[in-house]
Amino acid sequence: MASGKKLDFYSRMEEQKEVMEEICQIADREDVDLVVVSGDLYDTFNPPVEATELLYRTLKKLSKNGKRPVVAIAGNHDSPDRD
């Protein structure tokens, strides 16, 4: 997912919100049974609050409020204390 990615000093948060929404829509439309998120959940070890909130909102929506399993595997940019 790599939430919080910037291009130099340009925030890409709006793009990330659109992509996360599209992923949720595809999961719903295809009626997937399980979502696996592998790799980096964030782009940095200490992500901005907005990126953390986007990730949690997206995971909640992907899980259909806990009705669909979501497995998230942290990557090397992710803090073990955070996730």
Residue 43's CB is within 10 A of a number of other CB atoms, namely 19
Positive/negative CA dihedral, 45, 55, 5, 76 = positive
Residue 70: active-site member: no
Q: Pick the catalytic residue: 12, 17, 68, 77?
A: 77
Catalytic residues: 77
